[in-house]
Chain A
């Protein structure tokens, strides 16, 4: 329960933590584009270098970042197995039945694994170094143009930040109710599937009730403080660009250009 990696902020102060969340979002998108543009190992190596640089300047321990890959471990293993066995190619190492292991297959799956790992690690770097509040703030600011077509950007950002804010509360509440039922002899760890599903009912019902209660209370508290959406609303923390952001922006631009150049001049590995 406590191992949920999503939205886990790593609270230290660093260069990367201090970057403008809008820039970090754009940087992430640029990074992902670069990963997908890269069609040879040199391109991926450039991406990896930038990622390692980012990790080094964020003071987030490397094992923490590597651990975020655990969430997609199954996917990684599955794609590797499939590609190694079925990719086909010319340099055959082994062959039995419908399976063929080739040099090309191994290279291709190595390439894919690297790609997936880079994707997951860079996304988790964003959540490690940015508080959920800053993230939604940045998103709201980036999506502002959508207001022209009357898209409720502010409401969306609010819903997102409320949902993120409630994750730890809900987990705490779940833990409390779980403990209370455990103290009454409830058993969540043994038995078959049906028994286990049934065992969840005494947690789920109180949790549902308390969520409704919370939502109700929150709504009333906001209304009583005259919350009216984004009309006449000011911000406590204004987002501002600084020299750090400019530096990071240049790095991002350099990465994308670099990857494109590598793509053009060196050609595809796979």
Chain B
């Protein structure tokens, strides 16, 4: 499923002194199969953007009592926001939002805080039951199979954890269980808000590896919000940069991280690999690479062999 957003705009607490324009005329297309990164300073609108993708924040035109905004005198009316996820038109009231949410899985920041059931099994099966078609409740065998598969793909032992309380798991395990609870319905698009936040380096790497296993096999498209530029450079096919509610860039990491100065002025860092390339450049060694560790290594080796 392809994600197409045009002129997406969102204001929190519209019409009050607390009004904040969180998204301002954002147009962006995410192709099926991408591993898409979203970066930006705190309050740049990136979370607001991803929450639109499964209609947790609804477009005004999809709500009851919607009135078209009137144009000011002598001005064109503001363009109508459009958001399409596959065949779902999120600007329409008639869209089946439950079916949409089944297709767009959402892992929030610190997803372990959403665990609630008595056992890990029940917690993971929660989404499965909710999304079941009316009158077609999944059988015990179907649920068993789906929960088992989801737990195993996130690296938890089904037999060992299924009857445990989710609150008895370790921090990293809790997060895995929570992710299992989202992917158990096999969404086509998986959106994750800072999935590795607060984990130790090993935990971070494991989560990123997990996402690679899920990407392609379980979920065709993965959209990830992150502050960690190394994570982004290493994994993403394309990256969107948000600043003050606007979309500033949507580029592959290879092109994006050449703009070190521009990113710095937006309050963003560059990955370690890009810093190394810059440091080498300062000493007169020009390298071009895609800013993954592997890419940088082969660029350095190539250069060495060329010289030898």
Contact = CB atoms under 8 A, between A and B. Distances in A.
Nearest to B97: A182
A235 to B, nearest CB: 28
B136 to A, nearest CB: 14
Interface residues of B, number: 25
A206 interface: yes
A183 B113 contact: no
B51 A202 contact: no
Contacts of A10: 17
Given A179-B108, A185-B131, A206 B17 contact: no
A1 interface: no
Contact of B101 (A12, A177, A182, A209): A182
Interface in A143-185: 176-177, 179-185
9 contacts: A11-B18, A176-B113, A180-B111, A183-B101, A183-B106, A185-B131, A185-B185, A209-B113, A210-B113
A186 interface: yes
A185 B17 contact: no
A230 interface: no
The 5 closest A-B pairs by CB, nearest first: A185-B130, A183-B106, A184-B127, A180-B114, A205-B116
B130 A180 contact: no
A183 B56 contact: yes
A220 interface: no
B132 to A, nearest CB: 9
A227 to B, nearest CB: 27
Interface of B: 17-18, 51, 54, 56, 98, 101-102, 105-106, 108, 111, 113-117, 126-127, 130-131, 167, 181-182, 185
B116 A185 contact: no
Interface in A1-26: 10-12
Contacts of A176: 108, 113
A201 interface: yes
A202 B131 CA distance: 16
A189 to B, nearest CB: 11
Contact of A201 (B113, B116, B185): B116
A55 to B, nearest CB: 16
A217 interface: no
Contacts of A181: 114, 126
B17 A179 contact: no
A177 B111 CA distance: 9
B186 to A, nearest CB: 13
A5 to B, nearest CB: 13
A186 B101 CA distance: 10
Main SS class of interface, A: helix
A237 B61 CA distance: 47
Contacts of B167: 209
Chain A: number of interface residues, binned into ranges: 20 to 34
A205 B116 CA distance: 6
Nearest to B115: A206
A177 B112 CA distance: 10
Contacts of B130: 184-187
A176 B167 CA distance: 19
Given A179-B108, A209-B167, A184 B126 contact: yes
B113 to A, nearest CB: 6
A183 B107 CA distance: 8
A185 B102 contact: yes
Interface string A204-239: 011001100000000000000000000000000000
A11 B115 CA distance: 37
B54 A206 contact: no
A177 B101 CA distance: 16
B106 A202 contact: no
Contacts of A180: 106, 108, 111, 113-114
A39 B158 CA distance: 74
Contacts of B127: 184-185
Contacts of B182: 183-184
B108 A206 contact: no
Contacts of B17: 10-12
Contacts of A184: 114, 126-127, 130, 181-182
A182 B17 CA distance: 29
Given A183-B182, A202-B114, A206-B116, 6 more contacts: A10-B17, A180-B111, A182-B56, A183-B54, A184-B114, A205-B116
Contacts of B131: 185
A32 B117 CA distance: 49
A187 B167 CA distance: 24
B28 to A, nearest CB: 20
